[in-house]
Amino acid sequence: MAEINPIVVMGVAGKVVDLPVAQGPATGYSWVLDLPPGVVRVEDAPAKQSDSEKLLGASASGAMRVVAPKGNYRLTARLVRPWEPDNPATTMLIDLVIG
Amino acid sequence: MAGLNIIQLKADIKSRGLTWVPIELPADSKPRGLGWDPAPAEVTRAALETSQRLMVTRMSHLFQQPMTLGSAPKSLGGPAATPPYPRTFDWRTRGVIGAVTDQGYCGSCVSHSTTGVVGSMVGVEHGGASVHLSEADQHFCSSHGPNCHGWNNGDALNQIKTRGVVSDADFPYMTAFDSPPVGDPADVPDHLWIAHCRAVAERNRKIYQITEISAWTGNDRKTYIANVGPLACGYTVYEDFRDHYGGGVYRHVSGSVCGGHAVMVVGYSDDENCWICRNSWGAGFGGAAHADGTGAGFFKIGYGECNIDGEAFYGAQGVIAPANRNWGGWWPVAGGAAASDSSVFGVSRSPNKLDIFTSGTDHGTYTAAWQPGDTAWRGWWRVQGGVTAPGTSITAVSRSADHLDIFCVGTDHRIYTAAWQNGDTSWRGWWPVAGGVAAPGTSVFGVSRSADHLDIFCVGTDHGTYTAAWQPGDTAWRGWWRVQGGVTAPNTSITAVSRNTDKLDIFCVGTDQRIYTAAWQAGDTSWRGWWPVAGGVAAPGTSVFGVSRAPDKLDIFAVGTDMQVYTAAWQAGDTSWRGWWPVGHFKVAPGTSIHAVSRGPNKLDIFAVGQDGGIYSAAWQAGDTAWRGWWRILGGSAAPNTMVTAVVRSADHLDIFAVGTDHHIYTAAWQP
């Protein structure tokens, strides 16, 4: 299992914050967020426009987004497939600092 | 599913004294995107045109009708009352669908689908099992580039056609990534795995290529699947497919778009109205294998679901495989070089001995030899005095053990012969053969129909067919006799086969480009024929070569007007030739012919120069229901307007000879 060092993300209380993870292309994998109390996921950002010649295997959504009140939070993002939830391909730690 | 009667609903609201107020969508709302756009208009248009053409030609492209002269391709059955496909079909039942692959966290699904299709076509076209082709070589080393972004099936197949792809054994998928795989920190927010292209040693000798790509829509997709092979398709993945599919026929119900995805379509079921597909998300997708054939990486998806009709399904045919490991070469033959448009012909004068002949760059006649124990070819020696006309080749016959007779067209277009036998320290000759004169650009071919008998054939200056003969006791050649009626097209030669003792069969391309044969056997006072061979038509400037794989059996090979390779067969008892059948999906270079040998009873091996100049082979043996091949032989390439020729020096031993693009002479060998 690959683990990425914590990434610090800054935000403003009550405002949408873009996380450094997205659903990615259709690979069976998806990022599952373990959100601490107070942090709420909202609709993802729009996807980057893909080259029309590269649409099969391209991502269809943008960054995952959350809203949170002021405070410091640690989020865990696990890249997993639904049929093997205990075997994440990658785990990412996100330190969310909301001012 | 329960229905909602909107009229009744409005009446109920009114009866309760309420008011129907439609809720307006927010001003900034946008319709939910498909996640990927339907195929570009030009792709859809091309697919529709293909479909229209196939409706007219009744799938002639697909099923490779025999070559014909001036007549329309045969129909599969005309406007069919019943579809030309069964209600269900699944290539997994034929053992040609490889194991489920796993693309990991990488948008390489297109390379998994397209290499899956081509790998399966190896099994379909070459016989046997599928080959696991390298998705990594395809996705990360091709025009796509070393990254995990998406692609499209058409471009990907074009890369296999032009660049080829190696087997997974040569470049395993997971070795393209770090161990363990690392998400690209610069690829925010996707963090797709970092991919690397790894060099494959001697890649050119290891690649699989295809010669044809086709796009199919509508029910033609089922016809193709049921009759040819699996297809690659694209569709939109939704969350319910990714997160909840557990077998059965998938139909989208809920969830947002995850993205466009490519998979291999291995079958279909009209009973369940679905396509049967192999996914590339590992064998865990869909749960354990279910009785209906789904799960364990396979799934079924309803017809028309998830924009699956948004673009054509793609097929691949004409797989060129690398030569197997039993081939060795190419080795230069002792520094020899050939004149332009001349080929190398050889003969085995006794078991495991090889002698080859060519017209050198000075148009002199040169020979080289090899026998067991030699670590290198001996030669080239010049056969003194033999100077040949441009564009002709030297041909050879061994009429008995350790006897060689060679034939050429001289600069005066007269036909000459020279001879060598065991104990000679130099060649004897050249002698003119009975005053024979050949048409420009033609060669003389001979055969020995029984021990120490020689019969040779040439195209005269009037383009008639002429023959001369020699047998022990003759002090001079007898002939030339004209084989009545045989008038040939320009730049073609007469070739001959002896299918049994004292029997001769000759073949030519007539002035109408049709292929004709004539025959003679002991007791005949004149030749019988000419007969057209089953409607066969040859490309300009090509000749027909034949071989006898068993007594009284004949197989001949020609280049059709579409440059494909065709074969026809005859055996004792047949009242007419059978054929022509195309040999796979393979086209040859202009001005080259097909050479054939039989390395054992009922075994055939043929050799050709492809349109890319590469040297290719195909094979057939008793029991085969179709030709196996084509294989590219070790990355070899031939000079324009030359052919690759073969010699069987002992049972199941093949030696082939070619003039390289540098006009040097090269050889390669095969043994079990």
**Residues B261, B363, B453, B585: which is the catalytic one?**
B261
B497: pLDDT confidence band, cut at 50, 70 and 90? very high
Averaged pLDDT, B570-595: 93
- The DSSP element (H or E) to which B14 belongs, if any, is helix B6-15
pLDDT-based confidence at B435, cuts 50/70/90?
confident
Count the helices and strands in chain A (H runs, E runs): 0, 7
The radius of gyration of chain B from alpha carbons, rounded to an integer in Å, stands at 31
Selection from B370, B237, B183, B409 nearest residue A57 by Cα: B237
Helices (H), B472-586: none
Question: Does residue B37 sit at the A interface (CB-CB below 8 Å)?
Answer: yes
Average pLDDT value over all residues in chain A: 90
Q: How far is A65 from chain B (nearest CA, A)?
A: 11
Average pLDDT over residues B61-85: 47
Among all residues of chain B, which has the CA nearest to that of A47?
B35
The pLDDT of residue B473 is: 92
Which domains, from first to last, does chain B contain? 43-59+86-317 (3.90.70.10), 323-670 (2.120.10.70)
**pLDDT value at residue B386:** 77
Q: Which two tokens stand for residue B460?
A: 């005269």
With a pLDDT cut of 90, the percent of chain A lying above it is 79
Is B38 a residue whose pLDDT tops 50? no
Q: Give me the residues paired with residue B437 across strands.
A: B414
- Distance (Å, whole) CA B110 – CA B559: 35
Query: Chain A residue with minimal CA distance to B246?
Result: A83
pLDDT band, residue B5 (cuts 50/70/90): low
CB contact under 8 A, A56 and B153: yes
Tell me what pLDDT residue A99 has: 93
- CA dist., res. B235 & res. B477, Å (int): 73
Residue B132 reports pLDDT greater than 80: yes
Q: How far apart are CA B416 and CA B407, in angstroms?
A: 6
Mean per-residue pLDDT over chain B, rounded = 88
Query: Residues B307, B310, B316, B322: is their CA dihedral positive or negative?
Result: negative
Interface of B with A in 190-209 (CB under 8 A): 190-192
Give the distance from residue B282's alpha carbon to the nearest chain A alpha carbon, in angstroms. Answer: 9
pLDDT-derived band at B32 (thresholds 50, 70, 90) equals: very low
Question: Is B245:B255 a contact under the CB 8 Å cutoff?
Answer: no
A38 touches chain B (CB under 8 A): no
Distances (CA, A) of A31 to A78, A85, A98, B220, B447: 5, 11, 22, 39, 74
A66 touches chain B (CB under 8 A): no
- Residue-level pLDDT at B27: 52
Q: With bands split at pLDDT 50, 70 and 90, how would you rate the model's confidence at A4?
A: low
Is residue B70 pLDDT above 80, yes or no? no
Count CA atoms within 13 Å of residue A95 on its CB side: 6
Task: Provide the residue type at B342 as one letter.
Answer: S
Angle at B423 between CA B419 and CA B428, to 5 degrees: 25
Question: What is the rounded (10 degree) CA torsion for A41, A46, A47, A52?
Answer: 150
Give the C-alpha separation, B261 to B237, whole Å. 6
| Confidence category of residue B10, pLDDT binned at 50, 70, 90 | low
- pLDDT value at residue B98: 96
Write the pLDDT tens digit of every residue in A11-21: 999 999 999 99
**Residue B128 confidence (pLDDT):** 82
Q: CA-to-CA distance for B523 and B320, rounded, in angstroms?
A: 46
Which of B32, B34, B36 to mutate to test binding with chain A, by most A CBs within 10 Å of its CB? Answer: B36
Least confident span in A67-76, B40-49, B487-496: B40-49
Per-residue model confidence as pLDDT tens digits over A35-67: 999 999 999 998 777 666 778 999 988 999 999
User: H/E element holding B328?
Assistant: strand B327-337
Task: Tell me whether residue B279 is one of the annotated catalytic residues.
Answer: yes
- Tokens standing for residue B185: 């920190």
3-state secondary structure of B492: coil
Residues counted in chain B: 672
Would you place residue B662 in the very low, low, confident or very high pLDDT band (cuts 50, 70, 90)?
A: very high
At residue B78 the predicted structure's pLDDT band, cuts being 50, 70 and 90, is very low
- pLDDT for the residue numbered B340: 87
DSSP summary character for residue B173:
G
Quick one: pLDDT at residue B452?
92
A55/chain B closest Cα distance in angstroms:
6
Confidence grade of residue B84 (pLDDT, cut at 50, 70, 90) = confident
B562 or A4: whose pLDDT is higher? Answer: B562
ipTM: 0.94
Select the residue from B261, B308, B314 to test the A interface by mutation, using most A Cβ atoms within 10 A.
B261
Chain B CB contacts of A75 below 8 Å = none
Quote the tokens at residue B449.
């129909």
CATH 1.10.569.10 assigned to A2-98: no
The pLDDT score that the predictor gives to residue B68 is 40
Residue B37: predicted pLDDT: 38
**pLDDT at residue B43, as a whole number:** 45
**Closest of A22, A31, A8 to residue A97, by C-alpha:** A8
Greater confidence (A45 vs B28) lies with A45
Per-residue pLDDT tens over the stretch B184-206 = 988 889 899 999 999 999 998 89
Q: Does B140 touch chain A (CB under 8 A)?
A: no
Catalytic annotation, pick one of B152, B153, B279, B641: B279
Say yes or no for a CB contact (<8 Å) between A90 and B191.
yes
Contacts B28 to A, Cβ<8 Å: none
Per-residue pLDDT, averaged over B315-326, amounts to 91
Global pTM?
Answer: 0.79
| d(CA A20, nearest CA chain B) in Å | 5
**Span of A28-37, A43-52, B266-275, B377-386 with lowest mean pLDDT:** A43-52
Q: Which of B130-144, B381-395, B658-672 has the lowest mean pLDDT?
A: B381-395
CB atoms within 10 A of CB B455: 22
- Interface contact flag, B260 A24, Cβ < 8 Å: no
Contact by Cβ (8 Å): B317, B121: yes
> For residue B73, what pLDDT is reported?
32
In order, the DSSP letters of B390-432 are TT---EEE--STTEEEEEEEBTTSEEEEEEEETT-SS-EEEEE
Over the stretch B522-554, which tens digit does the pLDDT of each residue have? 999 999 989 999 888 999 999 999 999 999 999
From chain A, the residues in CB contact with B155 under 8 A are 53
8 A C-beta contact, residue B421 and residue B405: no
User: Is pLDDT larger for residue B47 or for residue B219?
Assistant: B219
Q: Which of B31 and B462 is assigned the larger pLDDT?
A: B462
pLDDT at site B76: 36
B126 or B33: which leads in pLDDT: B126
DSSP assignments along B256-275, one per residue: -EEEEEEEEEEEEETTTTEE
Closest CA to B338 of B362, B368, B302: B362
Tell me the pLDDT band of B20, cut-offs 50, 70 and 90. Answer: low
